[in-house]
Amino acid sequence: MNFEALHEAVERLRAGRVVAFPTETVYGLGADALSPAAIAEVYRLKGRPQHNPLIVHVSGPEMARPLVHEWTEQADLLSRALWPGPLTLVLAKSSRVPDSVTAGGPTVALRSPNHPLAMALIMLFDGPLVGPSANASGGVSPTRAEHVRSAFGDDEVLTLDGGACAVGIESTVLMLDPRQGPPRILRPGVIGPDAIGEVLGIRVESGSPAASKGQPLASPGLLASHYAPRTRAVLADPNDIEDLLEDASEDGRRAVLLSHQLAAMVSDEHELVRMPASAGEYAAAIYDALRHADDLGADVIIITRPPDDAELAADRAIWRAVHDRLARATAVRD
Ligand code: TXA
Ligand code: MG
């Protein structure tokens, strides 16, 4: 751990500035969650619409309690079982949380990240930190320090380098405010409905169809086109890949193929980015692969549709979350 950088990061946070930090999921843009001025700076840097609320990162339940109206029994059970980890709990907020954090809404999203640097930062700062993914709004989430540095200069955002994120896709967001009905997953992540249901002793809705355009957002921030590369990206069934590549060749278009299939091959004019075949490794690699594919400057990114079923419930949850992100990365933009 680079203690000097950590120390400077804490100083900057105290001065109301923004610092990028690694978590087990993706890198976050950290700022004092109790300072409206610091939060305004996060929205400005990200170019984030004001109606999309931020996740607040805490060291654990002790730090979470004053931020919520009631720390429910379900929150207690889940935090004991799955924190620190990639699970965000949405609860009724207390008056201590600035309205800009929650985009004026009545609930606050909380999580305790499972990463030594993130945890050290929160503990040394000794207070909650907002932490939206450290990318410009709508872009691909960063899973390496270089990704963050390519978007924000060091004078603007100091980036703590924790290497590659182990999980690689954003946390599961779980609505846990009893006023909103039974617990419901708003954003799928590697912690799935089975794992949550097991802790709570109930069946949990896996929820969250990718929001379609024109409809009010099911959850703020669940915009259909999110996590998107600049290059047009399409998702295709394994059986269609060969035809798509041939069509591209005939039209003189260059394609990048992202494929988890061992037998995948492309002709010379195209590029192949190999993806792992296991759910966890696929999730950990996907954002880096999308960025790499984007940087190759091709005309189209073709993604071989990965499996959506698995023997283990844990793998099924991961594939589900991967499919959610791929659907967003390939959604047609306005
Ligand atoms: O893994 C993660 O969650 C990462 C790392 C850095 O912790 N953070 C992250 O933050 O993905 P962000 O801001 O990019 O995504 C937060 C998501 C958005 O979809 C937002 O709409 C939703 O959580 N959210 C935040 N507060 C909410 C609330 N009060 N009710 C419902 N959804 C909320
Ligand atoms: Mg994000």
Q: Is the CB of 41 under 6 A from ligand 1?
A: no
Please say whether the beta carbons of 84 and 114 come within 8 A: yes
Distance 130 CA to ligand 1 centre (A): 10
Q: Is the CB of 283 under 6 A from ligand 1?
A: no
Q: Is the CB of 133 under 6 A from ligand 1?
A: yes
Q: Is the CB of 28 under 6 A from ligand 1?
A: yes
pTM: 0.94
Nearest ligand to the C-alpha atom of residue 168: 1
* pLDDT score recorded for residue 23: 98
Sheet holding 271-274, edge to edge: 233-236, 300-304, 255-259, 271-274
Q: Is the CB of 88 under 6 A from ligand 1?
A: yes
Please say whether the beta carbons of 25 and 113 come within 8 A: yes
* pLDDT score recorded for residue 224: 56
Q: Is the CB of 162 under 6 A from ligand 1?
A: no
Q: Is the CB of 54 under 6 A from ligand 1?
A: yes
Distance 109 CA to ligand 1 centre (A): 7
Per residue of the chain (334 residues), give pLDDT as tens.
Answer: 789 999 999 999 999 999 999 999 999 999 999 999 999 999 999 999 889 999 999 999 999 999 999 999 999 999 999 999 999 999 999 999 999 999 999 999 999 999 999 999 999 999 999 999 999 998 899 999 999 999 999 999 999 999 999 999 999 999 999 999 999 999 999 999 999 999 999 999 886 544 433 333 445 445 556 678 999 999 999 999 999 999 999 999 999 999 999 999 999 999 999 999 999 999 999 999 999 999 999 999 999 999 989 999 999 999 999 999 999 999 876 5
Distance 222 CA to ligand 2 centre (A): 10
Strands 300-304 and 255-259: parallel
* pLDDT score recorded for residue 89: 98
Q: Which atom of ligand 1 is nearest to the CA of 102?
A: 29
- Protein residue closest via CA to atom 3 of ligand 1: 171
